[in-house]
Structure 1
Amino acid sequence: MAHTNMVYSAHGTLGRCSSDYPESTGSAEVTTFGEETLIENDIDGMSSVWIKFQEQGISGEVLQIIKQSWRESTRSQYAGFIKKWTSFCSERDIRFLHPTLNDILEFLLMLHKKNLSYSCINTARSALSCFVKIDGIDVGKHPLVSRFMKGIFQIKPTKSRYNEIWDVNVVFDYIRNMENNELLSLKKLTLKTVTLMALISSQRIQSIHNICLSNMCVDESKYVFYLGKIKQSRPNCKSLYMTLEKFPSEEKLCIFHSLTEYLKCTDGLRNGCDKVFISFLKPHKQVSKSTIARWIKTFLGSAGIDIKTFSAHSTRAASSSAAKRNGVPVGEILKRAGWSSEKTFLKFYNLNIVKNN
């Protein structure tokens, strides 16, 4: 991977595009009630967590490291429920850092009465477990809270999003009828390339969004991307890579050929952007995960897939289900898609394939 003759180099110098979000410059209002301080207009939604650690004498520098243990997506998920919790406590004059067990159960019951799903209520339980303990244990692990959540599951069990999945051959046939890559507009080439990449790699939109030219190696038969920090990343886990190999028997379906043409067309448009996928509209800046998802969904719709039913993420189930039906060993599917458990694949992604989309 470190061989210099394999590392991609565009004409000119390519700099990194920062994917970090700027820190908020807003302010928070502090209200005191009971024996505790409640943060209103909370900037990141998780000030209750930080206050709890500060109560324990944790220094600011240590706290900054602890904050990084929650990924941005997790903090975003938790923030909404923590704000609901602080609002719930404010209305009832509850000590939001030191509630009773009954306070916790009443809060979860309130969420259930608002018709939230088991998954949402379980996320709220996890959020509260960050800073609330009952009888010396994290609130989410309390036997009665666990029993309550089992009851919620019996009332509103979780369901797989899809019971059936579309046939990848519908999309492949659509691609076969397209013009050659060299004749496609930049928009069509972009949408085709990103959709092919999603199908060939079985990776999440996050992974496709993350790939950078500086973390790309290429030789005459394949591209290899280091994915960096993604959802599957965890301690004691091997670094994750996306490998895109040449498919010489059908050039129109070959992700290697499509990506090569895409990089050639965007070479002079990047203005130093390191992300692989950039906007096909001026000023050709790097795009967000939601934009990549919209591109894939648009392409699937053009191919005849019911995009009212299926999201861009459905490419993960469609490609892995098709691989399983065509005799690819489950171990290879898990490795390619980044699953550590066969149970996860078989339960949520190995779906019945239907021709009628």
Structure 2
Amino acid sequence: MLLALTSLFRVSEIAAIDFKSIVFSGSVVKFALGRLRKSQRKGSLQVFSLNRLNSSPLICPVSCLKRYIFVTRDFRNESTNSSLILGLRSPHPPIGASTIGRWIKLLLSEAGVDTTIYSAHSTRGASASKAVSAGLSIESILRTGSWASESVFSRHTTAQ
């Protein structure tokens, strides 16, 4: 959920995070996807970074990611070593976008969000809307969210 909220990734992009590319450096984590983004036609795989939040480690995406990698270290092997998100049950296989989407929707429901209206993909627009209201530039948000244009961005957010 924290990755969805802080990265503006689609669930398919969260599922595509290449575990082997993850590098922690000070207050930043950098990583790449194992395949091109939906809006990316060609070129090399993009490298993304998330910054540590100075609030509670329980809601910091960098702290939580570091802890998740530590907790799942014993479940990783050659067949799971390229995927970040692993299944809960043994043998802990790599998890796909539909499962990640289901997990996010479950968390939204537990948070009191009406999941008959909002889906896992809604976190993308909600996060972008919050970024606009916090003063981030539209250009930066378009680039981070990999939106093709401001009109596409506007259709998927509450930002005006």
Q: Structure 1: which amino acid aligns with 2:135?
A: G
Q: Which residue is equivalent to 1:297? A: 105
Equivalent position of 2:158 in the other structure: 351
Q: Secondary structure at the match of 2:58?
A: helix
The separation in 1 between residues aligned to 2:127 and 2:71, in whole angstroms, is 27
Matched residue type, 1:310:
Y
1:340 is the counterpart of 2:156: no
Question: Which residue is equivalent to 1:210?
Answer: 16
Please tell me the residue identity of whatever aligns with 1:349: H
Aligned residues: 156
- Greater relative contact order, per chain length (Cα 8 Å cut-off, separation 6+): 2
TM-score scaled by structure 1? 0.42
State the superposition RMSD in angstroms: 1.6
SS in 1 for 2:113: coil
Unaligned runs of 5+ in 2: none
- 8 Å Cα contact 2:12/2:96 also seen in 1: no
In 2, Cα distance between the equivalents of 1:203 and 1:351?
17
Name stretches of at least 5 consecutive residues in structure 1 with no aligned partner.
1-194, 353-357
User: Match of 1:223, SS?
Assistant: strand
CA contact (8 A) 1:321 1:349 kept: no
- Correspondence for 2:96: 288
Code of the residue aligned with 1:314 in structure 2: it is S
Corresponding letter in the other structure for 2:74: G
CA distance in 2, matches of 1:241, 1:294: 26
Provide the C-alpha distance between the structure 2 equivalents of 1:240 and 1:232, rounded to a whole number of angstroms: 12
TM superposition score normalised by structure 2: 0.90
Residue 270, structure 1, aligned to residue 76, structure 2:
yes
The question of whether the paired residues in 2 share the 8 Å contact of 1:222 and 1:245 is answered with yes
Q: Which structure: larger Rg?
A: 1
Q: Distance in 2 between matches of 1:337 and 1:240?
A: 12
C-alpha displacement of 1:292: 0.6
8 Å CA contact retained: 2:4, 2:14: yes
Q: Which of the pair is proportionally richer in helix?
A: 1
- Secondary structure of the 1:253 match is coil
Secondary structure of the 2:48 match is strand
Say which SS state the counterpart of residue 252 (structure 1) adopts. Answer: coil
Residue 243 of structure 1 pairs with residue 49 of structure 2: yes
**Displaced runs of 4 or more, over 4 A:** none
Aligned to 1:311: 119
Instruction: Judge conservation of contact 1:197–1:255 (CA < 8 Å) in 2.
Output: yes
Partner of 1:330: 138
